[in-house]
Amino acid sequence: MKKITIIGATGHIGLPLSILFANKGFKVIGYDINSDNVKKANKGIMLFKEDNGLAEFKKARKKNNLYFIDKPSDEMKNGDFLITVGTPVDEFMNPDLNQLKKCINSILPYLNSKSLIILRSTVFPGTSEWLKSYLLKKKIKAEVAFCLERVVQGKTFEEIKNLPQIVAATSQNAKKKAANIFKHISKKIIFSDLKEAEFSKLFSNAFRYIQFAISNEFFMIANSAGLNFEKIRKITTDGYPRAGGMPSAGFAAGPCLFKDTMQLMASNQNNFNLGINSMLVNEGLVLYLIKKLSTDYNLSEKNVGILGMAFKSECDDIRSSLSYKLKNNLNRLCKNVFCSDPYVTEDKSLYDLNYTIKNSDIIIIGAPHKIYKKLNFKNKKVIDIWGMTNIENSKI
């Protein structure tokens, strides 16, 4: 039985991967420093919302080849390693490799020249080669591969089997080894060089972030002209493939798009005009909305409700969610701000949906969860940039 240690195994990327590999017959050791989550994972608790996640987790647990630990152990020896720890940017918008360094240092005693370390975290270009030389300095001749994660959060089990897996590594042998691992969960393997693969991931996320920024800027232009962007987008894209990829406007945030756009910018000595301007537009959309509300209403007399605190629809993850930027700003200006989300469990300050609607004069959709489509807002003012409740609500 192939053995793999997944590091960051209770995280959003690590847990689904641990389950997937266990279901394919690997012996999976899930290592994560978050002891509470390790305990929960060992009880079979699915830690966050993933379509079909609990069913897949149950299946994996029945195989008895998956368990979680919060400290490195000898069990890890003579197996491969897959790293999924966070790779944020720091206060200077530069890559912060602290989590990565700490996790590598913690597994050093369990590595040898036969070990393969697969980086799954999204990394700053050059990190895979840095890791190889870092290990060499520690007299460990382990191989390093970079195999990027491309699934959309929440849809791992549905998407992963159909997405080609890009595989890059420090040697041909390591590429082959990594491909042999990923062929169990991916339909197609695409081989690449390390830096090309690292850039590919950053380009993908920055591309998406820029696409959202285009629509968000169009939204603000249309809205300032007194027009409804969503209506314009609908007639523009209807039967017209060249505009087909134009997304609706809306809050573009979350744990990856912003920070990976910033990583890409940092990798090019801060020369990434589209990236930085996309950040200003996407983050600025919230400020535009607040400015418009302050002009139209005396907010100090208004109760405002925000529906949807997750960073995107059908998701329970609030990391870098712009709904919180909206909430924090409105808190300074409004009589009261009530927030609600049917999926978010970690924020105890949230209100029940009906309470939020009942007690708010103005309701803002913060994340377009499908359940909001059919709500009765009882003639209250609804602001819904996506236009999912009613297309008229997307003009603010």
Residue 394 touches ligand NAD, criterion: CB under 6 A? no
State how far the alpha carbon of 183 is from the alpha carbons of 63, 73, 176, in Å. Answer: 20, 27, 10
Number of residues that bind ligand NAD (CB under 6 A): 25
Residue 79 touches ligand NAD, criterion: CB under 6 A? no
Strand duo 143-146 + 165-169: pairing: antiparallel
Residue 16 touches ligand NAD, criterion: CB under 6 A? no
Residue 192 touches ligand NAD, criterion: CB under 6 A? no
Is 155 exposed, middle or buried (CB count within 10 Å of its CB: 0-12, 13-18, 19+)? middle
Binding part of the chain for ligand NAD, among 102-110, 225-233, 335-343, 361-369 by CB under 6 A, reads: 102-110
Nearer to ligand NAD, 56 or 149 (CB): 149
SS3 51: coil
State how far the alpha carbon of 201 is from the alpha carbons of 147, 191, 261, 323, 382, in Å. Answer: 10, 14, 10, 26, 37
Nearer to ligand NAD, 153 or 267 (CB): 153
**What is the spatial distance between Cα 231 and Cα 251, in angstroms, rounded to a whole number?**
18
Q: Which residue is at the shortest CB distance from ligand NAD?
A: 11
Report the nearest approach of ligand NAD to the CB of residue 101 (Å).
8
For residues 32 to 51, the per-residue mask of contacts with ligand NAD, x marking binding by CB under 6 A and - elsewhere, is xxx-----------------
Binding part of the chain for ligand NAD, among 81-89, 138-146, 225-233, 373-381 by CB under 6 A, reads: 81-89
Neighbours of 350 (CB within 10 A): 19
Residue 303 touches ligand NAD, criterion: CB under 6 A? no
**What distance separates the 2 farthest-apart alpha carbons in the chain?**
69
Task: Using the CB atoms, write b or e for 206-240: b if 16+ within 10 Å.
Answer: bebbbbbbbbbbbbbebbeeeebbbebbeeebeee
Residue 121 touches ligand NAD, criterion: CB under 6 A? yes
Report the nearest approach of ligand NAD to the CB of residue 52 (Å).
16
State the Cα angle at 62 between 56 and 65, rounded to 5°: 95
Residue 160 touches ligand NAD, criterion: CB under 6 A? no
Report the nearest approach of ligand NAD to the CB of residue 150 (Å).
7
Residues 82-101 that bind ligand NAD (CB under 6 A): 84-87, 99
Residue 57 touches ligand NAD, criterion: CB under 6 A? no
Report the nearest approach of ligand NAD to the CB of residue 29 (Å).
11
State how far the alpha carbon of 164 is from the alpha carbons of 18, 22, 80, in Å. Answer: 19, 20, 21
Nearer to ligand NAD, 222 or 315 (CB): 315
Instruction: Give CA 133 to chain center in angstroms.
Output: 29
Residue 28 touches ligand NAD, criterion: CB under 6 A? no
Beta strands in 206-347 (DSSP E): 303-307, 336-340
Binder of ligand NAD out of 26, 31, 182, 258 (CB under 6 A): 31
Residue 255 touches ligand NAD, criterion: CB under 6 A? yes
Report the nearest approach of ligand NAD to the CB of residue 228 (Å).
31
Q: For the chain, how many residues are written?
A: 396
Residue 198 touches ligand NAD, criterion: CB under 6 A? no
Residue 267 touches ligand NAD, criterion: CB under 6 A? no
Is the alpha carbon torsion for 249, 251, 256, 261 positive or negative?
positive
Nearer to ligand NAD, 262 or 353 (CB): 262
For helices 127-137 and 98-107, angle between their N-to-C axes, nearest 10 degrees: 40
Q: Are the C-beta atoms of 216 and 249 separated by less than 8 Å? A: yes
Residue 316 touches ligand NAD, criterion: CB under 6 A? no
Residue 321 touches ligand NAD, criterion: CB under 6 A? no
Q: Are the C-beta atoms of 326 and 293 separated by less than 8 Å? A: no
User: Which residues make up the interface to ligand NAD (CB under 6 A)?
Assistant: 7-8, 10-14, 31-34, 84-87, 99, 102-103, 106, 121-122, 149, 153, 255-256
